[in-house]
Amino acid sequence: MKDRSEIKREVQQFYDQYGWQQIGQGLYQNSRYEDLRPVSDAYVRRCRERVSHYLPRGGHLILDGGSGPIQYPEYEEYSRGFDHRVCLDISSLALKEARSRIGDHGFYVVGDLANLPFKNDVFKATISMHVIYHLPMEDQESAFREFFRTLIPGGNAVVIYSWGEHSLLMRLASGPIALAGWLLRLYSRLRFGKDRPMQIKGQKIDEHTQELLTKPGLYSFKHDHRWLRAKVGDLPGFEIRVWRTVSSGFLRALVHRQFFGRSWLRLLFWLEEKFPNFLGRVGQYPMVLFYKPDPNA
């Protein structure tokens, strides 16, 4: 079994060499993990915008733990109203790309989420998007507690996690997803004589880009919600709410314009707003919330 330092080194190398390589204007190798089709666009954007609803309107510093290149416009909005956004990432290439987006609004730090290089009580808010489950399993609790340690009293954190194979709804949907994928490949071969050429936002991609998109993925380990509650459920204000119920594989396989895909996704978003805690537990991507109490409030 790989040790923690080896896992972190491989994650760093993956992102410096492949993960944050641009394959188009504002698009990166990790685009393969997202559904960028127009039919899903409004739903995916509204899920990203959810994070802003749980952040303060402003303050001095906001920490972006595992910032990546801040590749989506909705991500940039999280630090609106703050004096500075502290972007911390294990990848220097990610920070270079982030600087190209937000410039002097950001401070850029290469570091480890499980051992933050900051004093106690620094940040008014903390965000972390799809990062903690790429840490070694032994370090994930430490990352949550480091976020708590570095919040100022009255500050709060929003962490997007993934249940992976522990998502009840996605396990139930695995059969339909596999069947739909097979039917889509069959249709493509009957119509085009082969699998349909890979596209990003409707644009065909060249062979080099396709090679980047098919590089093996990086390490991840997803705990279930019981583990999360047992390990960090003592953090003040701890709550699990839904960020997004369905995976990108579900969207690509089962949501299509010809079959009223946008309407189904509007209904799904309404259900997420209506039952955020339930869908946060059984869906794919939970939003983990907590705060540091202010004794003077």
**Could you tell me if residue 256 is inside a domain?**
yes
17: domain CATH number? Answer: 3.40.50.150
Each residue's pLDDT tens digit, 110-122 = 999 999 999 999 9
Strands 123-129 and 59-65: parallel
C-alpha pair distances (Å), 277 with each of 241, 267, 286, 287, 289 = 5, 17, 9, 9, 11
- The answer to whether the pTM exceeds 0.75 is yes
What three-state secondary structure class fits 293?
coil
Q: Which of 143, 91, 154 is closest to 116 using CA atoms?
A: 143
Q: Is 28 a domain residue?
A: yes
Give the pLDDT of residue 89: 94
pLDDT average per 10 residues of sequence, the chain (297 residues) = 65 59 55 80 96 96 95 94 96 91 97 96 97 92 98 98 95 91 74 56 50 57 96 98 95 92 97 98 98 90
- Distance, CA of 124 to CA of 58 (rounded, Å): 8
Q: Is 21 within the bounds of a domain?
A: yes
Structural domain contains residue 199: no
Lookup: tokens for 32: 């393969």
Inside any domain, residue 44: yes
In which element (H, E) is residue 131 found? Answer: none
Range of the domain at 30: 4-168+213-291
> Is 187 part of a structural domain of the chain?
no
Pull the structure tokens for residue 217.
């993925």
Q: Which H helix or E strand runs over 47?
A: helix 38-49
Count of structural domains, the chain: 1
Q: What is the pLDDT of residue 8?
A: 63
Distance, CA of 29 to CA of 35 (rounded, Å) = 13
What pLDDT was estimated at residue 278? Answer: 98
Residue 94 buriedness (CB in 10 A; 0-12 / 13-18 / 19+): buried
Q: Is residue 189 included in any domain, yes or no? A: no
Return phi, psi of residue 102, to 5°: -115, -5
What are the angstrom distances between the C-alpha of 73 and each of 77, 98, 99, 238? 7, 12, 14, 28
Q: How far apart are CA 117 and CA 99, in angstroms?
A: 19
